[in-house]
Amino acid sequence: MTTRVVIDGRPIDVDLSWDGKECRFRFEGDGREGTASILEVEPGIYSVLLDGRSFEVRMEPGQGAQIAVVQGRRLLVDVEDSRRPKRRPAGVFGEGRAQVTAPMPGKVVRVLAAEGDMVEAGQGLLVVEAMKMQNEVKSPKAGRVAALAAREGGAVAAGDVLAVIE
């Protein structure tokens, strides 16, 4: 499947496949391809083995995208997937209410926050399982969980509102 990855504003089209441990990739523009071994060692921290070299990658929430920290360099990373709705920031500088939507269809396997809880930007709200992979859905901003529509064991469709942060 071809996916557009935008790194620091530069779009890159890449064919990606993931088997749970290894990521196979082929760049559309020049045909370069390879395999990277990726292991999440802590929440948001990954050990990546690529071409015999090892990297630690820390993922942090950003405004409308993720920030990858690799060897001290911060890169703004956004993965554009035509199958899911585009994420929109909560408002200018994170002000106002933010609706947290399901990134993909799946099943809610764990709820990590409750209505009324105070959360930080990037804090896990719930876990959605899709195709035997668990994906933590995180708060886009610091605030209070005003509404929590997701229930453990419930099915969700891509774009469903799971929570509201204010």
Mean pLDDT of 123-134: 88
Residue 122 within a domain: yes
Residue 136 within a domain: yes
pLDDT of residue 114: 93
Residue, of 85 and 67, whose pLDDT is higher: 67
Q: How many domains does the chain have?
A: 2
pTM of the model: 0.47
Q: What is the pLDDT of residues 5-31, one digit of tens each?
A: 888 778 888 888 877 778 888 888 788
Q: Looking at 80, 104, 123, which one is the last position of a domain? A: 80
pLDDT of residue 51: 85
Q: Which domain holds residue 135?
A: 92-165
Residue 85 within a domain: no
pLDDT of residue 140: 84
pLDDT of residue 132: 82
**147 shares a domain with 98:** yes
**152 shares a domain with 99:** yes
**110 shares a domain with 41:** no
Contact 165, 141 (CB under 8 A): yes
Label residue 83 by pLDDT band (50, 70, 90). low
**59 shares a domain with 39:** yes
CATH code: domain of residue 99: 2.40.50.100
pLDDT of residue 88: 46
Q: Looking at 40, 55, 80, which one is the last position of a domain? A: 80
Residue 154 has what DSSP assignment?
Answer: -
- Residue 95: partners with Cβ closer than 8 Å, 6 or more residues away: none
Positions of E strands within the chain:
2-7, 10-18, 22-27, 33-42, 45-50, 53-61, 66-70, 73-80, 98-101, 106-111, 118-119, 124-130, 133-138, 143-148, 155-156, 161-165
Residue 86 within a domain: no
pLDDT of residue 152: 93
Mean pLDDT of 98-114: 88
**65 shares a domain with 98:** no
Q: Looking at 80, 113, 148, which one is the last position of a domain? A: 80
Mean pLDDT of 84-102: 59
CATH code: domain of residue 9: 3.30.700.30
Mean pLDDT of 146-166: 88
Give the whole-angstrom CA distance, residue 60 versus residue 38. Answer: 17
**100 shares a domain with 59:** no
Residue, of 18 and 106, whose pLDDT is higher: 106
pLDDT of residue 115: 93
pLDDT of residue 90: 41
